Structure 1
Amino acid sequence: MRSRLRPPGDPAGCDVLITGGAGFIGANLADRLAAAGHRVVVFDALVRPGVEANLDWLEKRHPARVTAVIGDVRDADRVADCVAGADVVFHFAAQVAVTTSLVSPREDFAVNLGGTVTLLEALRKRRVPLIFASTNKVYGNLPDLALTATNDAYVPTDPELRRWGIGEKRPLDFHTPYGCSKGGADQYVLDYARSFGVPTSVLRMSCIYGPRQMGTEDQGWVAHFLISAIEGRPISIYGDGRQVRDILHVSDAVTAYLAAWTRIESIAGQAFNLGGGPDNAVSLRQVLAHVETLVGRPVDLRFSDWRAGDQRYYVSDTRRAALILGLPAPTPWRQGVADLAAWLAAARGTGAIPCLGDRDVPLMGAAE
């Protein structure tokens, strides 16, 4: 039997399974892996708007290296069939919206927690490595953080927090059904390393953005801001727009996932916060100001009440991930947002990005 722990870059190529592989991050990861010579199975239910375009793009770019399997992560037999040939699994398949979890908590639970355990059980029989896409929502809404509101952003009063951000030692505190399902899955993934020896690792992501992101009402707010501004549509913000997140370009996120794979034997059972860090910590208002510069006109903003579970301030302390995973400095956020704007403009010209129509574009301040 071939080693299950061969790292990316092996000239012979590896067999990689990406659940949710037609999604934004999954598609970027699949493209990087296929370009490096690996064989990639994209496992996706294709329920998220726009992901069919990502899958079509992947299959056209890598016809000999990308295979699509249309399926649900809750389907144990289908999952087991895909895991049987994999050298490594990257797990992105999920219900991704806080709002949807509040409407359909049972469905959210079944996909995010039930689906993850289904996948883990298939992996347990063969101890295939798993890298799991978790979320900063595992830390809750952080009500104890003392913050000062400036004109356009919330700023921590604690100078250490302001300098470094929130580290992995922060206690877990699940809020909303989405936070509970993703947080529970996060903990199951880590425990399968402890209890069963499955080489797993967890990346708790802040806000990832970049090409191939089809921002929707509840997730992917950087792209949604840009799409709305390009089309001249109004943008609704829940809260006051001073919410701060550390945004990370998808190319940097992909690098982190590959770095976790190469080090999976030494990091098994560990979680890492993954985001842009303090240098890329920006408020919604600050991003919108940059968007206005990029599109050359002001945007029409409309404000609504805060939503459940929102974090007024979340910035990842990236020191541990950078040190242990060997990550380079992330893309500066203004440069990265300009890159996404250029891609969106080009993609709309080819029809790859659907127009939003004559409707409002509500965005959760809590969006990742």
Structure 2
Amino acid sequence: MTARTIFRQLPVLVTGGAGFIGSNIADRLASEGHDVHIFDALSRPGVERNLNWLKSKHGQRIRFTHGDVRDEASLAAAASEAQAVFHMAAQVAVTTSLVTPRDDFDINVRGTLHLLDGLRTSGRRIPVVFASTNKVYGDLADLEFRLEDDRYEAVDPEVRAHGIGEDRPLDFHTPYGCSKGAADQYVLDYARSFGVPAAVIRMSCVYGQRQMGTEDQGWVAHFLIRALEGEEITLYGDGAQVRDILDVSDAVDAYMAAWSNIDRIAGRAFNLGGGPANAISLRQLMRHIAELTGRAPKVSYSDWRAGDQRYFVADTRTIQRELGLGTPRGWHDGVAALADWLVEERALAPVAADPIRIPA
């Protein structure tokens, strides 16, 4: 048996593998015949359901370590025996970072450095794909936007047509933006300085099955859950802010393609989102939820939150070209599928058969 064959038989490590995107990556890997090592602190409420689902579906292909990325020895040991790493573990909420910025730093920066140094000292070239965020670009305050109907639109015709590209200067805002941005740059520099085959994916808003949405993170699922339960939804700002939302299956396609092409793309960062075709305002989502559930959600408004972007749409042309990605799932269909899954998963009221519309 060759060294290459032995290497391919090693598990793929998914830090944060019980989380939303991590569990979907783990599911894809196991479905394609890989053994998967999930390293997760299980700190987010509800993620145990994702872990149990993976174990039930894939059995012995799923190995689990209840570990924290701040535990350097445990994380380095897991990384050293992997054939590849998807680094999804993170403190994910801007709001939490403002309350406990030291914890945010320790998880997102120090934890990532622990992983990278474990890979550097392993004696093998172990690929790593890192989940970064569009928050590394700041609030985009220098760009001009105008309110059109129920959404903000970019005045610059290039941004309006294609979104925000990777050539956009980095501008970290909030402790969360700083910690994810610093980790992002460490990953890229470990590729440059030490030859670690590493790439960065800066994500816009990903939604879909296995998302345990809360007010602080995972807002598409959170809005659906609140509406299905008949609870009030709070919109921070005016509700006209725009995001390009991406179904998780398309995000997993991108991560898998990044691993497959890691030798060619190492040391690079890519923006990933639904692109202009899937750019919607919060108000537009509220109307779609009304159509799906048969009743208008209860909505209240509050002040803008720190670091919030009035507009972010990812320019996905580079990642689509470099990784050969297909056209992402349309948001109407994807959000409807998420609503159906939430009804089944959470035993919520069924989605209405006869939709209604609410005004902007």
Same fold (TM over 0.5): yes
**Correspondence 1:117 to 2:113:** yes
Structure 1 equivalent of residue 3 of structure 2: 2
Using the TM superposition, give the Cα deviation of residue 4 of structure 1 relative to its aligned residue in structure 2, in angstroms: 9.6
Using the TM superposition, give the Cα deviation of residue 288 of structure 1 relative to its aligned residue in structure 2, in angstroms: 1.0
**Aligned with residue 272 of structure 1, among 257, 270, 273:** 270
CA distance in 2 between counterparts of 1:226 and 1:124 reads: 42
1:4–1:128 Cα contact (<8 Å) kept: no
SS of aligned partner of 1:201: strand
CA distance in 2 between counterparts of 1:159 and 1:114 reads: 40
Structure 2 equivalent of residue 200 of structure 1: 198
**Correspondence 1:173 to 2:171:** yes
Using the TM superposition, give the Cα deviation of residue 49 of structure 1 relative to its aligned residue in structure 2, in angstroms: 0.7
CA distance in 1 between counterparts of 2:6 and 2:11 reads: 11
Amino acid at match of 1:235: I
CA distance in 2 between counterparts of 1:288 and 1:5 reads: 51
Structure 1 equivalent of residue 358 of structure 2: none
**Correspondence 1:104 to 2:105:** no
SS of aligned partner of 1:63: helix
Structure 2 equivalent of residue 361 of structure 1: none
CA distance in 2 between counterparts of 1:14 and 1:328 reads: 29
Structure 2 equivalent of residue 365 of structure 1: none
Deviations 1:183-238 (A, max 9, x none): 00000000000000000000000000000001012000000000000000000111
CA distance in 2 between counterparts of 1:344 and 1:14 reads: 34
Amino acid at match of 1:212: R
Residue identity (%): 63
**Aligned with residue 287 of structure 1, among 278, 282, 285:** 285
1:4–1:88 Cα contact (<8 Å) kept: no
**Correspondence 1:47 to 2:19:** no
Amino acid at match of 1:32: R
CA distance in 1 between counterparts of 2:88 and 2:76 reads: 16
Q: Report the TM-score, using the length of structure 2 for normalisation.
A: 0.94
Deviations 1:69-99 (A, max 9, x none): 1000111111121112100000010000000
CA distance in 2 between counterparts of 1:243 and 1:253 reads: 22
**Correspondence 1:330 to 2:331:** no
CA distance in 2 between counterparts of 1:102 and 1:4 reads: 46
Structure 1 equivalent of residue 357 of structure 2: none
Moved over 4 A (4+): none
Using the TM superposition, give the Cα deviation of residue 13 of structure 1 relative to its aligned residue in structure 2, in angstroms: 5.2
CA distance in 2 between counterparts of 1:219 and 1:133 reads: 15
Please report the RMSD computed on the Cα atoms of aligned residues, expressed in angstroms. 1.5
**Aligned with residue 311 of structure 1, among 309, 312, 317:** 309
Structure 2 equivalent of residue 366 of structure 1: none
Deviations 1:52-84 (A, max 9, x none): 000000000011200111000111111121112
1:5–1:88 Cα contact (<8 Å) kept: no
Which consecutive residues of structure 2, in runs of 5 or more, have no partner in the other structure? 349-360
